[in-house]
Amino acid sequence: MKRGVSKNFKTILIILFALAILTPLGLLTQNPAFGEWTEEEIKKMLGFVPEGLKRYAEIYKFDLFDGYSVKFIHNQYIGYILSALIGIGVIFAIFFLLKHLMTERK
């Protein structure tokens, strides 16, 4: 059973990696999603930026991977793939940690 799990898991990792490489396909459309505009886009649409929107829009400042582009990498496709891999890595790390915390307490 243990072997079955690890073999399956390897397959899943390969699939996830392949999907990560393919993520730049998601960049083919440059249309912003409805209701996910930047302040500049809103200003263009309305002629002004709503007061409260302006006040809270920038409340969180961390922008190293802003919008799945990596700050120091100028190729957006490579940045997107890297973001995908970083995200998967962080997710696995979180659940690995959670597993240790939760099984220890038992």
What residues make contact with another protein under the rule CB under 8 A?
A: 1, 4-5, 8-9, 11-12, 16, 19-20, 22-23, 25-29, 31-36, 39, 42, 46, 48, 50-60, 62-68, 80, 83-84, 86-88, 90-92, 94-96, 98-99, 102-103
Tell me how far CA of residue 9 lies from CA of 16, 89, 97, 99, in angstroms.
10, 15, 18, 17
Cβ proximity to another protein: between 32 and 75 the closer is: 32
Nearest to 26 by CA among 80, 85, 90, 86: 80
Tokens of 64: 């190293």
Whole-angstrom distance, CA of residue 4 vs CA of residue 71: 40
- In whole angstroms, the minimum distance from the beta carbon of 14 to another protein comes to 12
Cβ proximity to another protein: between 68 and 73 the closer is: 68
Cβ proximity to another protein: between 74 and 101 the closer is: 101
